[in-house]
Structure 1
Amino acid sequence: MSGRPEILFPLFADLTKLEGVGPKTAQNMASLGIEKPRDVLFSLPYSVVDRRRRDSIQGADFPSVVTVEVTVLSHSPSRTKGGAYRVTVQDAQTSFQLVFFHARGDFLQRQLPEGETRLVSGRIELFDGVAQMVHPDHMVSLDQGASIPPFEPVYHLSAGVTSKTMMKAAASALRLMPKLDEWIDPGQKAKAKWPDWAAAIAASHAPTGVDSMSATNPARERLAYDEFFAHQLTLALARSQFQRAEGRISVATGALQGRVLKALPYRPTQAQNRAASEISADMARPIRMNRLLQGDVGSGKTLVAFMALLVAVEAGGQGVLMAPTEILARQHLQGVHPLAEQAGVVVEILTGRDKGKERKAKLEALARGDIHVLVGTHAVFQADVQFGDLRLAVIDEQHRFGVRQRLELGKKGAAVDVLVMTATPIPRSLSLAQYGDMDVSILDEKPPGRQPITTVLVSDARLDEVVERLRRAVAEGKQAYWVCPLVDESEIMDLTAAEQRFQGLRAALGEGVVGIVHGQMPAAEKDAAMAAFQAGDTSVLVATTVIEVGVDVPNATIMVIERAEFFGLAQLHQLRGRVGRGTQASTCLLMYQSPLTETGQKRLTVMRETNDGFRIAETDLEMRGAGDLIGTAQSGVPKFRIADLEGQAALMAVAQSDARKLLSDDPTLTSPRGQAARVLLWLMEQDQAIRLISVG
């Protein structure tokens, strides 16, 4: 797949090839993300103006746009400089005024000679009981009437790009459209009653009413599907690339797993059993596993991950469990250690701290296969880390691991199965967009014995009561987090807010009771503050949002979040999940500054009403939209021009299964439909996919 197919050349040519687009206009269009004719085609109108002709302005809803044939009655120039120049006109039933400011009388006399008929179109309003059309959008003679379309498309514009420019450019780009072969499955296309690609683009630029703007309009829906399909094809290529690399067959004997299950004080949930068996089945296949384990805070992911690691060990191999930070790696070690002891499995940790002799000894044991499960940070990726027989990598991720890194990982072990864990419940549409190359297991039940968390909303006017309550809790031996808001982008400002809160609480609760962690601290100090809190040496930890995702302090039962209305829902949910990890009932206090905005109110109410991370994520998506939800830049979620991730999740799911099916039927994309799909990938600028095909 050497280069862009020739049939697409005209769409990737210079913008100035389009009618009415000179170098200056081209420069202005770039600010709309339009750099070539292809971009013009995909910049669809977002609204439509009804310019169908009427006999009279009478009976129209004011204010609104009307198009009507008029006879020019009289001109009355303005008496003051810059005042209004008025032209009285008569339609079939009534008279009204055309109004112009800063007008040149001679120009208007020529445009609108008295006694002549004209077609005018513009917004009509009542002003002091008189109907007026200020600066009509169109004034043409009757023989030019065809130049006013019955429905006029409305495009996004920017400085130097007028509506006329966009309409001309679009018409000119439409003339360049090649006839492309169909890449959509014929059955799918017929069932959805979708037009061909070129017809869909043409129809979207020539709306025939408000209905043609809706996402369910067949032409628009088809173009949205094309975007989803190209994206899912890219992910499916990444997935098949991953699977094509030989897999290892790792079969669970169940012996070690049985020992662990027998020693557990509770029975795993059905969701845990289901996920564990999906993973075992994947590992027993000769193709590589690439699975996402998605579960809310406290849904028991660690147990499922450890069961998977035991499959690798039972099959005679090794497993690795990777966390984004050292503190989380140590916590995983604490979590799996008691389980490993039951199974008689050797677990070790490797982080950046291991130096010299100690590191050397660990590496030798690892290469010999004496260490069965290694827990660590990205340090386990260094070149000198060699496994005896690595079969499974479990990655605990917080949006830090994109498709690219997943492909990198594949190169480490000859045929490593991969399991990615995430504690962020992601709405289905986003998980399809972000993890569409993976198979997904979901933990949607909480294990028994988890205490519910009570969430309370408190106005910050009652700060003193909150501090008083904290004093009583500390006296009873309880621990609490106090999260200060990210008030402003600069960490320095947040720092002063956190420092002041820390000083205030220390004065109220006593020296040595309160600790602090924030983004500006050196890592070692941060670790020390966290460790002191974990050990119970401090009772209250004041923190900016850096408290490590996932740090486990079972004795912490109170979470105070200041200015909670500033936080996103997902963030509030993650923070709340820091408490309620032990056997005692826990409380989360959301402190807000009144009056709350409507969104602030809605966010905090959702938090009070539900503990279900998936419901919270869905609400968050509705309220904020996909881009903000995950900071699109680092999330690997694409920006779509036409498709709407939130509203069209079902369409994305169809695109995923279709893309996977096409690749399983035609792995090299050489069939006629496969060839058409290659053209689609070029058209949609899916460079990553194009590279994968050329490698494959």
Structure 2
Amino acid sequence: MRPSLLDPLFAPVTALDGIGPKVAALIEKIVAADLTNRAARVGDLLFLLPNSVIDRRNRPGIAFAAEGAIVTLEVRVDRHQPAPRGNRSAPYRVYAHDDTGEIALTFFHAHAAWLEKALPEGETVVVSGRMEWFNGRPSMVHPDHIARADEAAGLPLVEPVYPLTAGLSGKVLRRAIGQSVARIPALPEWLDEDVKRRRSFPAFADSLLRIHNPADPIDVSPESAAWRRLAYDEFLAGQLSLALVRNRIRRLSGRPLAGDGTIVDGVRAALPYSLTHSQENALSEIYADLARPERMLRLLQGDVGSGKTVVALLAMARAAEAGGQSALMAPTEILARQHLATLAPLAAQAGLRTAILTGREKGRERAEVLAGLADGSIDIVVGTHALFQEQVAYHDLVLAIVDEQHRFGVHQRLAITAKGNAPDMLVMTATPIPRTLVLTAFGDMDVSRLTEKPAGRQPIRTVTLPLDRLDELIGRIRDAIADGQKVYWICPLVEESEEIELMAAEDRFAMLKPIFGRAVGLVHGRMKGAEKDEAMRAFKEGETRILVATTVVEVGVDVPDATIIVIEHAERFGLAQLHQLRGRVGRGSKASTCVLLYKSPPGETAKRRLSVMRDTEDGFVIAEEDLKLRGEGELLGTRQSGTPGFQVARIEHHADLLETARDDARELLAADPEMRSERGEALRLLLYLFGRDEAVRLLRAG
């Protein structure tokens, strides 16, 4: 179904001259990480952009060439001095001079015949490479380029430098990229003329030409007009595909959900507190969405402890008033049970029936839940992804709520869509996502933010402590426990690993046990579900006072009387995660403390992270900082570094283009939902170029 115009770019890289299977395998290591599930294509090389340049316009003359500088010299060859016979390790030197001085061109393991031909005595040649000075004498080891003076016009003056991998030479890669640029077909313009003019964007092919054949170092800067044009193209492809998914999800149009307020009022009456201003705002946005015939697709962002679960319950109460069922899906079983514990008593007072469904419900228990969902007697079900497995049938599912969305992609959203008659969707996250990232990952959603903490929540004091002051800390914890407080102690790994000397949870538990006896509990990801629940229950009810844990407790665990959290090797965690963990305390009326234990001396990034944590409790400030320190791949849990799923765009340079791309995509699809206009057809090519084929398939599926 792909337009044949694009065939030259979709051929395997082995179709290029000089690229066999061996080199192709090396190229696959450096093209965009997201493409590893298929063989590299010619078009992938287009978007492998240089990370710097070698500028050969610098022609200072031998005597004035600085140590380490890349220079171009025009010299006359004086004499050859081959390595002594039988001594392969000694260099072959060619001496040459210009008006300012003499230089030795040095070669190791040289082929004498080749050098005599390339650098004939008495000839004038142009050489280019890095200058080295040794005892006041200049030399150039293995010049990058050698050419006769009369042929030197062909030397690239500004040469792009690409990311490489062991075994792949820059020369081979540059030739392959040159060939792929030459294969770009004549493509129609897909950009809006107005956007193109306002931003001074060159044409698509011109942009690639300019970056791969730079005339000036500025051409390979992410700030250049050529690079910005390509980043905009990539954002536009991403936003179009999100908007197509959104349209697809919306087109399976929902139905208006209205109610008389009786159940909602029942839940509100059961609450022991009144809602914050931002909770009320979010609710009115959600109720307005539910009342419309189109499906709701809303992201609810709220910092740890800002009261998202209550907003979710009030949304589910409205769905029940309209006669439908709701499902709340959490990423882990611990979290699902926690949500149930919070929701069930409030729901019961309003006359709603709740149930739980995870991988652990078996036999009769499971059969009862499935029957209740099928006959409609269960109003609200909480669970893990088990909620959307094939054998689960709903009587009338009208609202699906997903907690911690960054663990679910577009495909899972489509799977949820298949249950019920296109249920409304509310997605909740406690990971404060910077605005720019909300656009890249959730461009297809409307956003509500909870910015206040519920009344009575205490600020958390954050302190940093080097690991060598552990004894002091243990003394303080002994006092806190005597005072009736509870402590989380977080470790990065479950058990000691040879390579990394991090204090593992099991080892720390073994160390604290002789000091605190039965007051210490342990919970980690490798324990069975029932064991985890038992450890959490004992901690919640005060049978244990210190809970040693891995990051399992990161999201959603609620123990209001826990007032201290110790995070070991805090320098190893990202800011967003530290912030999540810190939010486990400060949930009751007592003042709380977060102790960040680090191994000294911390590196620069670690220092910056620790100080940001000390200075602010605002999750959105922390998220913006995290973006600067780590790149956004990790924030959304997609890739180790770089922008999730992007080959060309760099958020830190191109964030200003994102919103324009989103508005552009939405306007286009509002006017031309099938992408049949001239511009729509051109944009289909763009979707293929940036690997967004699934979006084109959605178009075809109608």
Give TM class, smaller chain: over 0.9
- Give deviations 1:190-225, integer Å, cap 9, x for gaps: 111111111111111111222111112111111112
- Number of aligned residue pairs: give it: 693
Write the distance in 2 (CA, Å) between the matches of 1:454 and 1:544.
Answer: 22
- Give deviations 1:335-360, integer Å, cap 9, x for gaps: 23454355444444445555666655
Alignment correspondent of 1:45: 50
- The equivalent position to 1:587 in structure 2, one of 588, 593, 602, is 593
- Within-5 A mapping of 1:69-218: 69-78=74-83, 81=87, 82-218=89-225
Structure 1 residue 586 displacement after superposition:
0.6
The letter for the 2-side match of 1:219 is A
Range with bigger deviation, 48-57 or 418-427: 48-57
* 1:55–1:69 Cα contact (<8 Å) kept: no
The letter for the 2-side match of 1:72 is V
Write the distance in 2 (CA, Å) between the matches of 1:51 and 1:548.
Answer: 53
Structure 2 residue 549 is the aligned partner of structure 1 residue 543: yes
Alignment correspondent of 2:34: none
Alignment correspondent of 1:576: 582
Structure 1 residue 563 displacement after superposition:
2.1
* 1:55–1:92 Cα contact (<8 Å) kept: no
Structure 1 residue 284 displacement after superposition:
1.3
* 2:496–2:507 Cα contact (<8 Å) kept: no
From the superposition, tell whether residues 103 and 415 of structure 1 become closer, same or farther in structure 2 (CA, over 3 Å). Answer: closer
Structure 2 residue 514 is the aligned partner of structure 1 residue 516: no
Alignment correspondent of 1:29: 27
- Give deviations 1:417-438, integer Å, cap 9, x for gaps: 0101111112233332322222
Structure 1 residue 667 displacement after superposition:
0.9
Range with bigger deviation, 73-82 or 181-190: 73-82
Alignment correspondent of 1:664: 670
From the superposition, tell whether residues 545 and 491 of structure 1 become closer, same or farther in structure 2 (CA, over 3 Å). Answer: farther
- The equivalent position to 2:489 in structure 1, one of 467, 479, 482, is 482
- The equivalent position to 1:63 in structure 2, one of 63, 68, 81, is 68
From the superposition, tell whether residues 667 and 61 of structure 1 become closer, same or farther in structure 2 (CA, over 3 Å). Answer: same
- The equivalent position to 1:641 in structure 2, one of 628, 643, 647, is 647
- Give deviations 1:237-260, integer Å, cap 9, x for gaps: 111100000211012544544454
Alignment correspondent of 1:411: 418
Range with bigger deviation, 84-93 or 459-468: 84-93
Range with bigger deviation, 132-141 or 368-377: 368-377
The letter for the 2-side match of 1:585 is A
- The equivalent position to 1:15 in structure 2, one of 7, 13, 16, is 13
The letter for the 2-side match of 1:486 is L
Write the distance in 1 (CA, Å) between the matches of 2:179 and 2:367.
Answer: 68
Structure 1 residue 577 displacement after superposition:
1.0
Give the 3-state SS of the residue equivalent to 1:44 in structure 2: coil
Range with bigger deviation, 37-46 or 311-320: 311-320
* 1:295–1:443 Cα contact (<8 Å) kept: yes
* 2:563–2:591 Cα contact (<8 Å) kept: yes
- Within-5 A mapping of 1:497-536: 497-510=504-517, 512-536=518-542
Give the 3-state SS of the residue equivalent to 1:648 in structure 2: helix
- The equivalent position to 1:457 in structure 2, one of 456, 460, 464, is 464
The letter for the 2-side match of 1:654 is T
Write the distance in 2 (CA, Å) between the matches of 1:574 and 1:608.
Answer: 14
Write the distance in 1 (CA, Å) between the matches of 2:384 and 2:77.
Answer: 80
The letter for the 1-side match of 2:671 is D
Give the 3-state SS of the residue equivalent to 2:214 in structure 1: coil
TM-score (normalizing by structure 1): 0.92
* 2:407–2:637 Cα contact (<8 Å) kept: no
Give the 3-state SS of the residue equivalent to 2:544 in structure 1: coil
Range with bigger deviation, 588-597 or 87-96: 87-96
From the superposition, tell whether residues 269 and 65 of structure 1 become closer, same or farther in structure 2 (CA, over 3 Å). Answer: same
Give the 3-state SS of the residue equivalent to 1:647 in structure 2: helix
Write the distance in 1 (CA, Å) between the matches of 2:486 and 2:499.
Answer: 27
Structure 2 residue 473 is the aligned partner of structure 1 residue 469: no
The letter for the 1-side match of 2:45 is V
Write the distance in 1 (CA, Å) between the matches of 2:377 and 2:463.
Answer: 50
Alignment correspondent of 1:394: 401
* 1:242–1:410 Cα contact (<8 Å) kept: yes
Give the 3-state SS of the residue equivalent to 2:552 in structure 1: coil
Give the 3-state SS of the residue equivalent to 2:674 in structure 1: coil
Alignment correspondent of 2:447: 440
Structure 1 residue 386 displacement after superposition:
4.4
- Give deviations 1:83-139, integer Å, cap 9, x for gaps: 333333222433333223333445433332332211111112222112222221122
From the superposition, tell whether residues 492 and 8 of structure 1 become closer, same or farther in structure 2 (CA, over 3 Å). Answer: closer
Alignment correspondent of 2:312: 305
- The equivalent position to 1:321 in structure 2, one of 328, 336, 352, is 328
* 1:494–1:544 Cα contact (<8 Å) kept: no
Write the distance in 1 (CA, Å) between the matches of 2:418 and 2:641.
Answer: 22
* 1:488–1:494 Cα contact (<8 Å) kept: no
Alignment correspondent of 2:35: none
Write the distance in 2 (CA, Å) between the matches of 1:42 and 1:569.
Answer: 31
* 1:434–1:636 Cα contact (<8 Å) kept: no
TM-score (normalizing by structure 2): 0.92
Structure 2 unaligned residues grouped into runs of 5+: 32-38
Structure 2 residue 566 is the aligned partner of structure 1 residue 563: no
Structure 1 residue 560 displacement after superposition:
1.2
* 2:228–2:654 Cα contact (<8 Å) kept: no
| RMSD over equivalenced CA pairs, Å | 2.8
Alignment correspondent of 1:626: 632
Alignment correspondent of 1:654: 660
- Give deviations 1:414-468, integer Å, cap 9, x for gaps: 1310101111112233332322222221222222211111111112222222112
Q: Could you tell me the percent identity over the aligned residues? A: 54
Alignment correspondent of 2:700: 694
Write the distance in 2 (CA, Å) between the matches of 1:564 and 1:495.
Answer: 11
* 1:430–1:637 Cα contact (<8 Å) kept: no
Write the distance in 2 (CA, Å) between the matches of 1:111 and 1:377.
Answer: 70
Give the 3-state SS of the residue equivalent to 2:177 in structure 1: helix
